[in-house]
Structure 1
Amino acid sequence: MIEQTLTVVSVKGDTAFLKSEQKPACAGCNGKCGAQIFAKLFKTDKKTFPYQFSEPVVVGQKVKLALDDSHIVSSSFVVYIWPLLAALVSAVLVQSVLGLGELAQIGTAVVAGFVGFVMAKQRLAQVVHDVKVLKIYPLSLPISQRVGD
Structure 2
Amino acid sequence: MIEQTLTVSELKGNTAWLISEQKPACEGCNGKCGSQVFSKLFGTHKKAFPISISQKLRVGQKVKLALDDSKVVQHALWIYLLPLIMAFIGMFSALLIFSLSELGQIGFAAGFAIFGFWIAKIKGQTLKHEVKVIKIYPISLPVTQIDGD
Q: What whole-Å deviation, never above 9, does each CA across 1:1-38 have from its counterpart, x for those lacking one?
A: 00000000000011010000122565522344443222
- Which residue of the partner structure matches residue 57 of structure 2? 57
Cα distance change on mapping 1:144 and 1:99 into 2, 3 Å: closer
- Which residue of the partner structure matches residue 35 of structure 2? 35
TM normalised by structure 1 equals 0.90
Within a 5 Å distance, the mapping from 1:47-86 to structure 2 comes to: 47-86=47-86
1:143 to partner: Cα distance: 3.0
SS in 2 for 1:104: helix
In structure 2, stretches of 5+ residues that fail to align are: none
- Which residue of the partner structure matches residue 92 of structure 2? 92
2:26/2:36 contact within 8 Å kept: no
SS in 1 for 2:8: strand
In structure 1, stretches of 5+ residues that fail to align are: none
- Which residue of the partner structure matches residue 129 of structure 2? 129
Q: What whole-Å deviation, never above 9, does each CA across 1:115-137 have from its counterpart, x for those lacking one?
A: 10111111111111111111101
SS in 2 for 1:18: strand
> What amino acid sits opposite 2:103 in the alignment?
L
- Which residue of the partner structure matches residue 17 of structure 2? 17
> What amino acid sits opposite 1:22 in the alignment?
Q
1:25/1:31 contact within 8 Å kept: no
> What amino acid sits opposite 1:40 in the alignment?
K
2:25/2:39 contact within 8 Å kept: no
Once residues 129 and 44 of structure 1 are traced to their aligned partners in structure 2, the CA distance between those partners, rounded to angstroms, is 26
**Which runs of 4 or more aligned residues in structure 1 lie more than 6 Å from their structure 2 counterparts after TM superposition?**
none
Once residues 78 and 54 of structure 2 are traced to their aligned partners in structure 1, the CA distance between those partners, rounded to angstroms, is 33
